[in-house]
Amino acid sequence: MMMLGRKVYTPAALVFPSSKLAFNSSHDYVKQLEGAMQETHVLARSQLKQKLEVRKRDYDLKLHKKSYAVHVGDAIYVLNNSSKKGQSKIAKTMGGSFLGD
């Protein structure tokens, strides 16, 4: 927000109002704190479980990639990752059409 050509800074107390909680005793405070910690723990465990399932799925997909059967006489392309001296890095790496053995 601009006022008189300058940026106005809002006090933090207005931006982030503090929730002053009144407790009748320290026992009430401890009970509420334990409940909040248990709720946070349950939330964290559920998030970790979801992330674990996603990572396991991704790992399994990479581990068990589909392999394609090549039969005798099938036309295939061969990927050549080797580089030759004097050849640019962006040279064509796919070989032409070959017949599978």
Question: What pLDDT does 83 receive?
Answer: 67
pLDDT in tens, the chain (101 residues): 566 777 777 777 777 777 677 788 889 989 999 999 999 999 999 999 999 999 999 998 888 777 777 788 787 777 766 667 776 666 555 555 666 55
How, if at all, do strands 2-3 and 94-99 pair?
unpaired
DSSP H helices, the chain, are: 12-15, 26-63
Residue 19 lies in a domain: no
Q: Report the C-alpha gap between 34 and 39 in whole angstroms.
A: 9
Which amino acid does the sequence have at 41?
H
At 43, which amino acid appears?
Answer: L
Query: pTM for the whole thing?
Result: 0.44
Which of 73, 62, 69, 65 is CA-nearest to residue 99? 73
Full domain range(s) for residue 61: 25-81+91-101
- How many independent structural domains does the chain possess? 1
- Let me know if residue 15 belongs to a domain: no
**What's phi and psi for 25, nearest 5 deg?**
-150, 170
Identify whether 99 is part of a domain: yes
